[in-house]
Structure 1
């Protein structure tokens, strides 16, 4: 039998070892914890969840139990910190930040697509010399200026009339670029036979004003009968979210909708490019 060189046998053994390694590796599953290229798609009602060993969900995104879609970020105790969407018609596709106690502390509005829902924002008022007046032609008693953030305005006010005196109180608004004051509400007060304070609340939608539009407000008071002076105090004022669909303001005219601070400052008001097309119109 012819002699076989030892180096050739070594080469055959090495080749056999490599074949065995390749055969074993072909039966191994590739790593499933890394995606290096392409898009991951979860369709047809699917969802993605990151769940801690204790069973609490840190992240979930996809279809909600009511059939809508959204995203939830949770704390390590299981409570929600941030949600997009949720159960119920009033909260469909709303964005909400939650306190640890379970209250929505930041959110868009349920019924008004254009406005902030929470937090409620205070409106500071400044008195004038006409806060106490005997004018029979009308005197401005209080002024305020703000940006429209939430869809509903609220004002608490009180007026004192002495005995046998009656007066008219008006709340008026002026939007940026407007040359006229619009009457938002008018009410009458009377001192009766002994003089008295009369309180009143004004609650109304933002009245076709776009988000972040500048608005100036004023209170006027006029003595309509009797002799003496009338005095008015603003107790408080703020903007808040809608409680019912009927409180949602009407859509602003196209010309007024363009008058926002972002436009005035030359900033872009267009929506950033989306990563994927929307399946439908967002609801608040």
Structure 2
């Protein structure tokens, strides 16, 4: 076919096989009468990507399987019953412990070993400053030339009644994929005599939102 359309209708199926007979692509009707798309690796190790499938009760799910294929558990899939939601992988909901800040000497309040998987770091950090006190927090990332500050500093100014700041940022990570570096949350009391608190709700590696983040 060099021009025009190929139509497989009336409940038919298009099947593409490797020279050894392994199915690489199946489009159309499954054994249960459902319709979908199934793609496999040429080594015959099983289904790699499936849209829909034989299941009659899980909707037209999109599933990505590890090497070994179906019926291994999928490593990525949408939710079979709650449309618009992720099924796998499970995503942790982090809970952070607050750390007090009561000195003008900067200290590390939280530390993480970062395996670089994404180009962008999404951060969510709360900082509390009591009345008459200012607390400054920033992130510091290790690298070939030592630690360097990343993102914008977070400054909570207590004023007369105290202040709590909820700060979120998207920070470009200037490190190679797969590299491992230490990431620090650093804090200090820069004014006053009160005791502040810093607690990160979470740090996530996320995909880029636009070309400027690449």
Distance 2:209 2:94 in 1: 22
User: 2:190 is matched with which residue: 214, 224, 236?
Assistant: 224
Aligned to 2:79: 99
Q: Does 1:52 align with 2:30?
A: yes
Cα distance change of structure 1 residues 75 and 200 upon mapping to structure 2, 3 Å threshold: same
Q: TM-score, normalised by structure 2?
A: 0.61
Secondary structure class of the residue paired with 2:139? strand
User: 2:164 is matched with which residue: 197, 218, 221?
Assistant: 197
User: 2:210 is matched with which residue: 237, 241, 245?
Assistant: 245
Alignment coverage as a number of residue pairs: 176
- Looking at CA atoms only, which structure, 1 or 2, has the larger radius of gyration? 1
Bigger share in helix: 1
Aligned to 1:140: 108
Counterparts of residues 121-136 of structure 1 (less than 5 Å): 131-136=99-104
1:190 positional shift: 0.6
Does the 8 Å contact 1:153/1:239 carry over to 2?
yes
Cα distance change of structure 1 residues 196 and 38 upon mapping to structure 2, 3 Å threshold: closer
Distance 1:232 1:144 in 2: 15
Aligned to 2:140: 172
Aligned to 2:148: 181
Q: Runs of 5+ in structure 2 lacking a partner?
A: 1-14, 40-47, 66-74
Distance 1:37 1:74 in 2: 26
Distance 1:138 1:146 in 2: 22
Q: Runs of 5+ in structure 1 lacking a partner?
A: 1-32, 62-69, 85-94, 107-117, 251-284
Does the 8 Å contact 2:140/2:147 carry over to 1?
no
Does the 8 Å contact 2:36/2:60 carry over to 1?
no
Q: TM-score, normalised by structure 1?
A: 0.48
Bigger share in strand: 2
Counterparts of residues 38-117 of structure 1 (less than 5 Å): 48-52=26-30, 55-60=33-38, 72-76=50-54, 77=56, 79-82=60-63, 97-101=77-81, 102=83, 103-106=85-88
Distance 1:145 1:213 in 2: 10
